[in-house]
């Protein structure tokens, strides 16, 4: 089974996609099968960056520009990192040409004024950008490993891996370094139940379970759609966003389940249909106007996973760096700049965007690879100030600049003037 999966993955990646996955995504978007969105440039946690609007603007506009560079068109929607929303963010989104974004259910339920249709219809914010709310029932069915589908005992157990269980002499040939045990992705057991004792995985039984769960999911959504039709003047929308890593990584059978869901909707969906947010807004352009409440889809629904005693030390350096970047760019735009100065300012912008990534406080809060996150954050902050110190003193070390451009080679066409006020 695993040999077949690996060979198929190689065929798709190497032969079908030419080792460029964005090429396949672009083909599906051009043919109308997918509606591609973007995110913030480095998944910066925007509510915590909002004290410096230029930082938020740079995160959003850089992402829009990069999406257009890669796919040849601007995205209609934007995924707010961690669904992190604060009132006023929609103005920057509107300026960037974004038509819609997503928030968690309580952002819609507590909106001002209260929504007539709850999370089952988007809200138009004051700027005209639509906010879609996550449906809580479909989220729990798929996301929860306690009451949701992924916790079924027939599905593959994630944590047990042959890299830690089989004989070392047998594994030696396949290890990237002699004697180093690590995850291989090859796992022989099913969830079975709580506790350490696990039974062997049965792919056929797991596939049947995924098909059964897909039928259940579609039936529940179809029933929900029928109930909504009696209360709403137009079809309601069930918005079901999930982390992509759930499908195939944490939940091995997730891609199979998704396939069965799509097939079931096509054959047994009844009044239930598949749509994209852009299509929905095109078909139903009249919606209620309201302002969602500040929120995230993080732990407990707000910002505590990124702003807490363990991460408090990170935010002052980020705010100070954003202010310094804005002031430096403002001064630079008033006079001609040699090409080397442009390169320094562009690289300083990259380092600042990388320091703003929400990954670092998230990892530190979780305590998983905390030392790595601290080092990455501090490295980017240090490089940022080093670059601007050299720029201001006009003592630019071009060789060292080249090293930084090579190490942090993100956003090749970054417009550092985005860090200046509009």
pLDDT digits (tens, 9 = 90+) for 11-67: 999 999 999 999 999 999 999 999 999 999 999 999 999 999 999 999 999 999 999
Bigger pLDDT: 134 vs 178: 134
Query: Would residue 246 count as lying in a domain?
Result: no
Query: Would residue 342 count as lying in a domain?
Result: yes
As to burial, measured by CB atoms within 10 angstroms (0-12 exposed, 13-18 middle, 19+ buried), residue 390 is middle
**Which tokens in the block code for residue 256?**
């199979």
Per the annotation, the verdict on 304 as an active-site residue is no
Among 7, 112, 243, 413, which one carries the catalytic annotation?
A: 243
- Give me the helix-helix angle, 370-393 and 312-332, nearest 10°: 20
- Give me the helix-helix angle, 312-332 and 359-366, nearest 10°: 170
Query: Would residue 321 count as lying in a domain?
Result: yes
Query: Would residue 95 count as lying in a domain?
Result: no
pLDDT score, position 290 = 98
The answer to whether 79 and 57 have CB atoms below 8 angstroms apart is: no
As for how many domains the chain has, the answer is 1
Query: Would residue 257 count as lying in a domain?
Result: no
CATH number of the domain enclosing 351: 1.20.1430.10
For range 243-247, the mean pLDDT = 92
**Structural domain containing residue 373:** 306-419
Query: Would residue 281 count as lying in a domain?
Result: no
Which residues make Cβ contacts (< 8 Å) with residue 133, sequence separation at least 6?
102, 103, 104, 105, 107, 108, 109, 118, 119, 122, 123, 239, 292
The answer to whether 296 and 302 have CB atoms below 8 angstroms apart is: yes
Per the annotation, the verdict on 243 as an active-site residue is yes
Among 52, 82, 161, 264, which one carries the catalytic annotation?
A: 82
For range 377-386, the mean pLDDT = 98
pLDDT digits (tens, 9 = 90+) for 132-157: 999 999 999 998 878 899 999 999 99
Q: What is the pTM of this model?
A: 0.93
pLDDT digits (tens, 9 = 90+) for 86-128: 999 999 999 999 999 999 999 999 999 999 999 999 999 999 9
pLDDT score, position 109 = 97
Phi/psi for 337 (5° steps) reads: -125, 130
pLDDT score, position 34 = 93
- Largest Cα–Cα distance of the chain, in whole Å? 70
């Amino acid at each position: 089974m695993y040999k077949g999966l690996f060979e198929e993955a190689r065929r798709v990646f190497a032969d079908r996609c030419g080792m460029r996955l964005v090429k396949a995504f672009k083909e599906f978007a051009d043919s109308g099968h997918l509606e591609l969105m973007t995110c913030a440039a480095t998944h910066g946690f925007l509510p915590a960056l909002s004290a410096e609007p230029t930082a938020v603007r740079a995160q959003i506009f850089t992402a829009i520009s990069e999406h257009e560079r890669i796919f040849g068109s601007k995205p209609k929607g934007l995924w707010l990192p961690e669904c992190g929303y604060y009132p006023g963010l929609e103005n920057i989104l509107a300026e960037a040409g974004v038509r819609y974004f997503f928030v968690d259910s309580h952002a819609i339920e507590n909106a001002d004024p209260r929504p007539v249709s709850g999370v089952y219809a988007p809200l138009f914010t004051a700027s005209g950008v639509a906010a879609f709310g996550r449906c809580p029932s479909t989220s729990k069915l798929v996301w929860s490993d306690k009451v949701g589908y992924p916790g079924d005992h027939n599905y593959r157990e994630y944590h047990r891996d042959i890299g830690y269980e089989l004989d070392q002499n047998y594994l030696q040939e396949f290890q990237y370094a002699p004697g180093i045990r690590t995850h291989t992705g090859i796992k022989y057991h099913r969830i079975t139940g709580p506790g350490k004792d696990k039974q062997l995985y049965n792919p056929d039984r797991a596939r049947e379970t995924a098909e059964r769960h897909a039928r259940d999911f579609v039936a529940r959504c179809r029933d929900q759609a029928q109930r909504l039709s009696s209360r709403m003047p137009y079809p309601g929308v069930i918005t079901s966003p999930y982390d992509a890593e759930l499908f195939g990584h944490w939940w091995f059978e997730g891609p199979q389940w998704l396939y069965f869901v799509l097939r079931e909707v096509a054959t047994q969906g009844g009044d239930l249909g598949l749509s994209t947010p852009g299509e929905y807004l095109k078909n139903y352009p009249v919606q209620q106007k309201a302002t969602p409440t500040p929120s995230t889809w993080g732990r407990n629904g707000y910002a505590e996973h990124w702003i807490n005693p363990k991460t408090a030390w990170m935010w002052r350096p980020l705010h100070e760096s954003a202010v310094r970047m804005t002031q430096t760019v403002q001064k630079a735009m008033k006079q001609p700049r040699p090409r080397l100065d442009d390169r320094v300012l562009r690289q300083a912008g990259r380092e600042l965007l990388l320091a703003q990534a929400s990954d670092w406080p998230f990892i530190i809060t979780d305590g998983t690879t905390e030392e790595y996150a601290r080092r990455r954050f501090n490295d980017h902050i240090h490089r940022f100030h080093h670059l601007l110190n050299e720029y201001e003193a006009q003592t630019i070390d071009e060789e060292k600049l080249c090293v930084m451009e090579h190490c942090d080679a993100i956003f090749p066409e970054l417009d550092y003037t985005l860090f200046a006020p509009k």
